[in-house]
Chain A
């Protein structure tokens, strides 16, 4: 049992009952005030892009405590041995990568303050001076080399589930204050990949400690240090006073989880926590009507769609696939099922991501046109089943049921829903052979790289890990995009690919999911579109 449990005895409760000076001592005082976050530095652009201006520096307020409650805790603190968002949020407070992203998804400097592409297509990062790990040691180029190699090469410690996340890395070389990464072939999105992935660990610390220790302790360079780790329950942090960008304003951070969404909302309304994730639409008004908190939502980098396999009837018919796009009233689903928390989509790439084509309009809701196209496809009278995961995406089952009802209401198609446990559906969706994959299913896809290719290639290219389509023209465009060194030209190719994907209609294009947070009125915090939570940017109201 941790002896410093006193820190998280609920202050309100203790004060309420005990009401003595002693109780205040027991609960632990807030202690010395943090300096408040300094403004971010202006960032130099790399990769031939224009230099990005840094955000204006904000004055930090007084020190304060902040609680974040998510649906699920981390799966261990090793920043390179996981592949899911909750763990990323928890380890990402303590660890950082070479590059980072701003709230809108733009690339900004991280541990590297300059980055460029060399003549041979490799990428070179110049490390920021004066960065130290939480144990006080300096960050070195060797640490960076080791970290990247630990992710991509299986023989460096672990088989990391992130091994594909940095592209096909050939070698990493460490120089004096700089690190060069070379790839097998040209990697046009190297910087996008490094801005989302590739957290840096200290080589000696990792080599000296076993996996069990690394998963329970942290030694990164990030804005917060882990002070207490209770597996599956909560993680406590203190600000890293030596942080290169200035210590955050938050004086004590607590991250915890409640799997029940109603419990999370109740915690927020009882003022036991400050930020809660995934507030269900039916709880939104309860939060907004309270005096103590409100809803803060942001379009996320996750797209929801109904995918149809190109090689099985009736989905092999492009007309039939287009018919289903006309049959589903996405606007009404967003309005009625999601309480407005969604943006309608018309292509696999989301607005704001590289390769988004602004000229593509969503398929209009038109049941008559849908029926006509079904007749034309020669599949009138067909019976189809939509498989949906249960509880994986915001109101997934309700969305699937609404869409299936609308399809079913066509005079010449009947459609029913089959609810699947997510893990079991994933097993089928990722089956090595396309013949083993579901014919028609709901799926969501998060694109943390903000680049169209990171959705198009895995989901719609012939060799994609989860593909439902095989189309030479689309494959050709994606191959061209991969080899194109001119960023503008590449955007043009991806836009063309998106137009083609819209016309081929391998998906019923649904919506962009929103991240819906409940936020205490005591703080001011703007959520990010990549689902990461950054309490170091929160300030006291």
Chain B
């Protein structure tokens, strides 16, 4: 499942791990006992952080919030970060990345966290969470990650959310209001219809308690003609130029917002975004993409036209490297590249030619590449 991070190992711990490797032939010796511990109490598993589903709240017709209690050794998070969860569906483990929707304060006070998850059409995991997952079940949790985080000092803020992109922003808003932040904060929340507003009561209660928080809901499909986010919506935010802007939502909304902000002369450095939707296929149209990829450990060679990522190519060649989100977030598919250059599809940047770790799911070869798969 999800590997725990052992970054700062104490010498005794290193010695124990050395001994564990001698005795059990594995990097994480504690996990040798997992198959038995899992039977006794699934919360005792060591290989990953188990988290019990304590409650499930229905937010909207297609969104629910899971209240989770992770095992004590989980390291916590910062508002705006996301986390990998691991579920087992029909014998197959699946990993997906979701933003944490609760504030870190809740974790510190009660040891609880929440994930707010929307059902995606055809989504294997989100539909399972909506249809099969029940209170009392235990799922796997990874450590939190992501740099979509609030500024260290009080600064005027603008949050721009689309649909279920509200989740990391919920965590941020709760953190700000709990701390009694003095700087003004505005939320522009785009939804299809009023019925799709997630956590409406919570948002309204926060806005009522904190006069320096303003809340604007834009329902795009409320009438026959769609009403999209406009430059005027953004321009109406007082002191827009001086605000740090946090946005999370579907690609279309993000593009629209970025263009409008640019037109309004907002410094791009002030804009923070986090991933929401998977990057489209073949988003790079360089003619120099593609090349022969050698999967060194399995001694397989395949050539590519530049339209496929390394993960797809490896799978098409019959290999089964581990993977998770398939959108460049979770790093489960990170593998060692020993030679050649790959282009990161998300950033459009080229890697160095030498040995480094690359994410298979978002890497496209540029010339011959060797990967340790």
| Same complex origin of A and B | no
Interface residues of B (CB under 8 A from A): none
Residue numbers of A with Cβ under 8 A of B are: none
